[in-house]
Structure 1
């Protein structure tokens, strides 16, 4: 008896016999990258939306602006004012447009320049100078005042005795030789080349003492917080 043994033959597997691979297979790295891009776009969209909402909230805020030049001390009229739209007025003491009724009829404490926004500190009482204040003009020789003086600058007015070699005389009483003032205007003097005629606003008693004192006037400019 003969026994025949059948050995399994190696399968001749071809690519056509393999099961098809799932369609649309994505690599993990590509999917993660798309998620990152989507997250960045979402953040940018949130920032842009917040900015637009904040801009729309402030864009309709109306404030008063100066329509034409107004000298210091002049009464402010309707024609001197106009309405301006300010997107973000934070940190500025601007005057809202609806308060124009309380501004008209009052005076400008400093010269107002056309096109500038009106700040509450630039508006004074109905009468100017106010009660207890006075305005005087002092001649200042060359070299006795900073060249940066402009309307609105705060200064110390010092009066030195005539012939004293530029040394200040001791104060005889409060305010006689020294007074803090606000510059109203600065013009060129007519007596000497380089001389300035500076108009200042200060307390009435100090103004009388300075105006009656004989001697050379010097002006010391102060910082905004002094």
Structure 2
């Protein structure tokens, strides 16, 4: 009788262990380790497992092998939980929008500028010349700060395509300033 009770207890513990192990695999999701640009090819090193309850749209840890080697559709910030909709053919920038790189020196942009901030991109007129290009409003998608302070930073900005074309030349030459604006401003 004692032997039978030990067998029942052993089976109960084994069942609980298997159930907990299976539950741990089902409860969690994949997140990205670092900031990734749209079109980045995912590798195993880009991903980490986050424990917690599972949302239907999140990619579970067990599906990591199926997404490695696929492209990201949109830029993803470090720590973003990965959804099935974030993987596939790149869909960034959206239709009608463009991404430009803006070369800016210290003093031409707020030092704490970060992805997601709204900015006004204002061309700097040459001395004695009237500016022909008006400021345009965009959203920062990336900030690459230089290792050497005398070098310009490159701020990547998402803008309506016509606005991007209007400021692309002065932006590439470092002849613009960026002003962070409120998210509520039109």
Give the alignment's TM-score, normalised by structure 1: 0.50
1:207 and 2:169 are equivalent in the alignment: no
Alpha-carbon shift at residue 72 of structure 1 (Å): 1.7
Structure 2 residue 144 is the aligned partner of structure 1 residue 186: yes
Conserved in 2, the CA contact under 8 Å of 1:182 and 1:200?
yes
Q: Is the 8 A contact 2:144 2:154 kept in 1?
A: yes
Give the 3 Å change call, closer, same or farther, for CA 73–160 of structure 1 in structure 2: same
Unaligned runs of 5+ in 1: 1-58
How many residues are treated as equivalent by the alignment? 153
Q: 1:1-226 maps to which residues of 2 (within 5 A)?
A: 61-66=27-32, 68-77=33-42, 79=44, 80-86=46-52, 96-98=58-60, 104-110=70-76, 112-113=77-78, 116-118=79-81, 123=86, 126-127=89-90, 128-163=92-127, 169=131, 176-188=134-146, 193=150, 195-213=152-170, 216-224=175-183
Tell me: CA distance 1:154–1:97, structure 2 relative to 1, closer, same or farther (3 Å): same
1:164 and 1:64 map into 2 onto residues whose CA distance is 55
CA RMSD of aligned residues (A): 4.2
Deviation per residue, 1:28-66 (Å, 9 max, x gap): xxxxxxxxxxxxxxxxxxxxxxxxxxxxxxx86423312
Task: Measure, in 2, the Cα distance between the counterparts of 1:196 and 1:63.
Answer: 34
SS of corresponding position for 1:183: strand
Q: Distance in 2 between matches of 1:94 and 1:182?
A: 30
